[in-house]
């Protein structure tokens, strides 16, 4: 694929909160790209986004957007259950795609996507694990990679959402939300999980009995390292994510972004974002800019690959089995294919 010198024409599938933010970030901050097309089941949403980013083409059918000559590359921000099929369609079209996490709604589906990319023989898919572009997470990774901490012994992840749209099962939390933490753990430590043990509780009696909005995963990795990950999606006070690596000789933990310490109304404190769009805005723009440049050059983006999306779902799948059984569950770790650096 030769380098594209003109602005890359991007099609965005799904113009809800995340898709709208990606479209606006592209329009406002990524000069190497332009929003060429939008697709959503709700025309009012595409209209609202187009009014702000000037997308000239609208599609009702995502497959038509993917195959459109006016579209060079695709961002998939439709519901999780559609990700795998749309990623496969992008591979068939030979077009680069940034697929929001999770890569698929199940391990098996993600395996089919990886198999398809392996058959194609070239990497076109990037998965939206944007914490890899978060300055705080990158700073922790640099410390771990420097060896200053010695051998990592423990990863401690905290992932809190302020609220959930409705009562949510542990399986949904593990598939939709916790994948970020499993990817951050893999990426920061450079290790794969071997065994997981997951417990979950319902935070409020008002939630349906099957709700598990507070989950705790204990994980043994393959490098004599442990992990503990809290995912709480009804924290109420705000949106907060942190990651800490404890090594033989010290620790490194993500610091809150640069914030003011506010004193007002007989109180003092710092602002806590309401959701991921605010907390990770800098990461989203950096992720998009890298992905666009790579797509223009025909090279591999620095973000998470389809293999990373698949391996995160390996951990998710084991966590779901453990949550259901109440016992630890083994995590399969197939050999990394050469296409993905194996």
Give residues in contact with ligand ISE (CB under 6 A).
Answer: 161, 176-177, 180, 233, 276
| Nearest to ligand ISE of 79, 337 (CB atom) | 79
Between 229 and 233, whose beta carbon lies closer to ligand ISE? 233
C-beta of residue 130 within 8 angstroms of C-beta of residue 102: no
Nearer to ligand ISE, 36 or 178 (CB): 178
CB of 128 to ligand ISE, least distance (A): 7
Please give the backbone phi and psi of residue 98, each rounded to the nearest 5 degrees, phi first: -105, 110
For residue 97, the minimal CB distance to ligand ISE (Å) is 17
Which CA distances in Å does 62 have to 136, 191, 261, 291? 35, 36, 45, 20
Q: In the bound complex, what is the minimum distance in angstroms from residue 278's beta carbon to ligand ISE?
A: 11
State the minimum distance, in angstroms, from the CB of residue 234 to ligand ISE: 11
| Three-class secondary structure of residue 325 per DSSP | helix
Strands laid side by side in the 251-253 sheet: 251-253, 240-247, 152-160, 226-232, 214-221, 193-201, 329-330
| Cβ proximity to ligand ISE, 134 vs 290, nearer residue | 134
Q: Is 338 exposed, middle or buried (0-12, 13-18, 19+ CB in 10 A)?
A: exposed
Question: What Å distances lie between residue 248 and 120, 144, 207, 210, 240, CA to CA?
Answer: 43, 11, 42, 40, 27
Residue of minimal CB distance from ligand ISE?
177
For ligand ISE, the closer of residues 178 and 245 by Cβ is 178
Shortest spacing between CB 271 and ligand ISE, in angstroms:
17
């Amino acid at each position: 694929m030769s380098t594209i010198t003109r602005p890359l024409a991007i099609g965005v599938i799904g113009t809800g909160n995340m898709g709208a933010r990606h479209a606006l970030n592209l329009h406002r901050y990524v000069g190497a790209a332009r929003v060429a097309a939008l697709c959503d089941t709700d025309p009012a949403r595409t209209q609202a986004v187009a009014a702000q980013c000037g997308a000239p083409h609208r599609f009702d059918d995502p497959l038509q957007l993917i195959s459109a000559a006016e579209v060079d590359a695709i961002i998939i921000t439709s519901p999780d259950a559609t990700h795998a099929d749309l990623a496969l369609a992008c591979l068939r079209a030979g077009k680069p795609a940034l697929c929001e996490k999770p890569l698929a709604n199940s391990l098996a589906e993600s395996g089919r996507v990886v198999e398809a990319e392996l058959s194609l023989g070239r990497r076109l898919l990037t998965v939206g694990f944007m914490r890899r572009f978060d300055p705080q997470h990158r700073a922790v990774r640099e410390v771990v990679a420097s060896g200053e901490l010695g051998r990592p012994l423990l990863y401690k992840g905290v992932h809190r959402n302020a609220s959930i749209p409705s009562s949510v099962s542990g399986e949904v939390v593990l598939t939709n939300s916790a994948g970020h933490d499993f990817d951050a753990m893999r990426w920061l430590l450079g290790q794969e999980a071997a065994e997981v043990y997951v417990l979950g509780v319902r935070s409020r009696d008002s939630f349906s009995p099957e709700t598990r909005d507070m989950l705790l995963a204990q994980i043994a990795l393959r490098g004599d390292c442990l992990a503990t990950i809290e995912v709480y999606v009804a924290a109420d006070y705000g949106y907060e994510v942190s990651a800490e690596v404890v090594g033989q000789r010290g620790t490194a933990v993500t610091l809150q972004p640069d914030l003011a310490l506010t004193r007002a109304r007989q109180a003092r404190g710092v602002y806590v974002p309401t959701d991921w769009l605010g907390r990770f805005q800098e990461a989203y723009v950096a992720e998009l800019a890298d992905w666009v440049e790579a797509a223009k050059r025909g090279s591999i983006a620095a973000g998470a690959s389809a293999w990373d999306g698949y391996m995160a779902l390996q951990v998710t799948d084991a966590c779901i089995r453990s949550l259901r059984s109440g016992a630890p569950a083994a995590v399969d770790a197939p050999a990394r294919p050469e296409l993905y650096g194996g």
